[in-house]
Amino acid sequence: MSHFQRPTGTLDILPEEQPYWRHVRAHATRLAERAGFERLDVPVFESTDLFARGIGTGTDIVEKEMYTFCDKGDNSLTLRPEFTAGVVRAYIENGMHVRPQPVKLYSTGPIFRYERPQAGRYRQHTQFNLEILGAQDPAADLEIMLLIADIYAGLGFENLSFQLNSTGCPACKPGYVAILQDYYQHYRDQVCDDCQRRLEQNPLRVLDCKAEQCQPIIANAPHIVEHLCDECRGHFALLREYLDLLKRPYKLNHRLVRGLDYYTKTVFEVWAGGIGAQSAVCGGGRYDGLAQALDGPPTPGVGVAAGLERIILVMKAQGVKVPPLPAPAVFVACVGEKARPAAVQLTDELRQAGVATWLAFEQRGLRSQMREANKRGASYTVILGEDELARGVGAVRNMHSGEQATVDLAELTAWIQHRTAA
Ligand code: HAM
């Protein structure tokens, strides 16, 4: 065995896994486009500054998890640790703010974070990302939440839990942070080391600490939703009203604060059971200050990203079936070297005619080729031997019924096409 192995925390997605991937991507794309989202592809790497400024220098992502490198021109670049900052950068750079607003964009591709790998947590994962830029209306927050819920429902998921909170805005968040820090003053020597640090650098993050000693303290901590300014309170009330109107259940989670600094107002996650500790199948929220933080025009925004690896873990845990990859319609078997040119030619002709065709390579006995045709799930096998060639025909076996027919080579492609057309 080679001593080369894939890097820690990465996955090889083998052909047998691909039906899941294909199904999820196609399904999510179909629903996003139906809701008016357009695809945007952004680079896999961007300037390090973009993420530091966008996500926040005090966050775990920027502090510990970025794959940052210097290129040969001495530029500091980072493999994208999320989509949102890059999407907003592209929106500003390409003048999308002069288009009719809002602009709805979806993106998908690999994301890189240097995390401690475990089930459902990788150093390279894949996101399906949705953003609505240029809309202040809580109906935009609702649209993002409904779309992601519809994507999961269409995949056949059960027992998902929507977790919802509001983290306020620059007008009300600092006031709440002061109240939280004040509350924690009494417990400074009881909280874990991480929380002691968080209280200085990123106080809201104390609320999602997992350390046991911090749990009773978090349980009694003041709730941010009780300290929102009028605007944030009104926005949140309207969103909850819409969710109730549409009978979409959610849990108000006072501890949900998210790990990226750009959020204002709404934050949410969807949790799934049965896939271990890493249960968030998506996370998102509103980021009304991000465009300005990136030197763009004031542009409200709201979005979500779903982790495809976790979605596929849920599909497997819940026994969700996906359509298999199509098997070849025809397997071309060739007996004897003299028949090979005709086999190559027939294969090409069939493929040109749009028929999925597999050609057997190397000289092998017919039995071994028939076994292969079976394994590959072909519907028909065309057998070309010297005998058949001399008569200008091919022997065609229906692999399901076992029936065999002799068909003129000149008519064979049309014969097969007629029988295998979808
Ligand atoms: P996030 O919560 O950091 O949000 O990531 C979104 C989703 O990506 C998570 O809910 C999870 O499903 C998946 N994910 C994250 N890290 C990993 C990992 N190490 N391994 C496997 N899956 C992972 C964001 O990235 C925001 N940009 C979302 C957003 C878009 N907010 C507004 N717009």
Q: What is residue 422's predicted lDDT score, i.e. its pLDDT?
A: 67
> What DSSP letter does each residue of 319-342 carry, written as one string?
T---PPPPPPSEEEEEESGGGHHH
Task: Write down the pLDDT at residue 112.
Answer: 98
Residue nearest atom 20 of ligand 1, based on CA coordinates: 121
- Asked whether 147 lines ligand 1 (CB < 6 A), one says no
82, 237, 74, 267: which is closest to 168 by C-alpha?
267
Question: Does the beta carbon of 121 lie inside 6 Å of ligand 1?
Answer: yes
Question: What sign results for the dihedral spanned by CA atoms 358, 362, 367, 368?
Answer: negative
Which residue type occupies 299? T
Q: Coil, helix or strand for 178?
A: helix
Q: Ramachandran region of residue 157, left (φ > 0), alpha (ψ -120 to 50) or beta?
A: beta
pLDDT at position 11? 97
Q: Is the CB of 131 under 6 A from ligand 1?
A: yes
Q: Which residues pair with 301 in a beta bridge?
A: 133
Position 283, amino acid: G
Tell me if 143 CB under 6 Å of ligand 1: no
324: exposed, middle or buried (Cβ count in 10 Å: 0-12, 13-18, 19+): exposed
The pLDDT value recorded for residue 273 is 84
Q: Determine if ligand 1 sits within 6 Å of the CB of residue 303.
A: yes
Query: What is the Cα–Cα distance from 28 to 151, expressed in whole angstroms?
Result: 6
Rounded CA separation 374/381 (Å): 9
The fold of 15-172+228-317 is BirA Bifunctional Protein; domain 2 (3.30.930)
Residue with the smallest CA separation from ligand 1 atom 22 is 307
DSSP summary character for residue 282: E
Rounded Cα distance between 265 and 260, Å, is 13
Ligand 1 site, residue 150, Cβ cutoff 6 A: no
Bridge partners for 271 per DSSP: 161, 280
Number of H helices, E strands in the chain: 15, 16
With tokens 């009978």, the residue in question is 247
Q: Is the CB of 83 under 6 A from ligand 1?
A: yes
**Residue 60 Cβ contacting ligand 1 at under 6 Å:** no
Q: Looking at this protein, which amino acid is placed at residue 127?
A: Q
Extents of the domains making up the chain: 15-172+228-317, 330-420
d(CA 80, CA 78): 6
Q: Which two tokens stand for residue 418?
A: 């007629």
Residue ranges of alpha helices (H) inside 269-355 are 290-293, 308-317, 340-352
Most informative mutation of 91, 310, 312, 313 for ligand 1 (most atoms within 8 A of CB)? 310
H or E segment at 119? none
Query: What's the 50 CA to ligand 1 centre distance in angstroms?
Result: 18
Superfamily, domain 330-420: Anticodon-binding domain (3.40.50.800)
pLDDT in single tens digits along all 422 residues of the chain: 789 999 999 999 999 999 999 999 999 999 999 999 999 999 999 999 999 999 999 899 999 999 999 999 999 999 999 999 999 999 999 999 999 999 999 999 999 999 999 999 999 999 999 999 999 999 999 999 999 999 999 999 988 999 999 999 999 999 999 999 999 999 989 999 999 988 988 899 999 999 999 999 999 999 999 999 999 999 999 999 999 999 999 999 999 999 999 999 999 999 998 888 889 999 999 999 999 999 999 999 999 999 999 999 999 999 999 998 889 999 999 999 999 999 999 999 999 999 999 999 998 999 999 999 999 999 999 999 999 999 999 999 999 999 999 999 999 999 999 998 86
* Cα-to-centroid distance, 204 and ligand 1 (Å): 18
What are the DSSP E strand ranges found in 14-102?
38-39, 45-47, 68-70, 76-79
| Distance from the alpha carbon of residue 327 to the mean position of ligand 1, in angstroms | 35
Nearest CA to ligand 1 atom 17: 121
